[in-house]
Amino acid sequence: AQKVTQAQTEISVVEKEDVTLDCVYETRDTTYYLFWYKQPPSGELVFLIRRNSFDEQNEISGRYSWNFQKSTSSFNFTITASQVVDSAVYFCALAPGSARQLTFGSGTQLTVLP
């Protein structure tokens, strides 16, 4: 069985602060995929990034960066110099190699205050 844990239910930061959202996963599969999605107040789920289990290289995209560590089963997401528009619920998700399941964490509500 798969499991994704996002221990941080809510985080508030002031604009321009850096913030890290934690994600810990459990799986018995050797091949799997990890994802981050953003859900702004409008409600639609926006795909941010995908990582496969064989690629532990960290990734940076503008103000966003992701740290994947298989040793600790973690896939953390950092927003640098946060902005008010970053306010949203962020979900971490896990899929097995077959992609016949997609398990989400409970989400982290990020509020960036001006």
Partner 1 sequence: DVKVTQSSRYLVKRTGEKVFLECVQDMDHENMFWYRQDPGLGLRLIYFSYDVKMKEKGDIPEGYSVSREKKERFSLILESASTNQTSMYLCASPGQGGTEAFFGQGTRLTVV
* 18: its two tokens: 């850096």
- Which of 28, 30, 41, 43: binder of partner 1 (CB under 8 A)? 43
Asked if 64 interacts with partner 1 (CB under 8 A), we say no
Distance separating the N- and C-terminal Cα atoms of the chain: 41
- Which of 28, 30, 41, 99: binder of partner 1 (CB under 8 A)? 99
The residues, ordered by sequence, that sit 6+ positions from 25 with a Cβ below 8 Å of its Cβ are: 2, 3, 4, 5, 34, 73, 74, 75, 92, 94
| Cα–Cα dist 30/20, whole Å | 26
Asked if 12 interacts with partner 1 (CB under 8 A), we say no
Asked if 95 interacts with partner 1 (CB under 8 A), we say yes
Binding stretches for partner 1 (CB under 8 A): 6, 9, 32-33, 35, 43-45, 47, 50, 52, 91, 93, 95, 97, 99-107
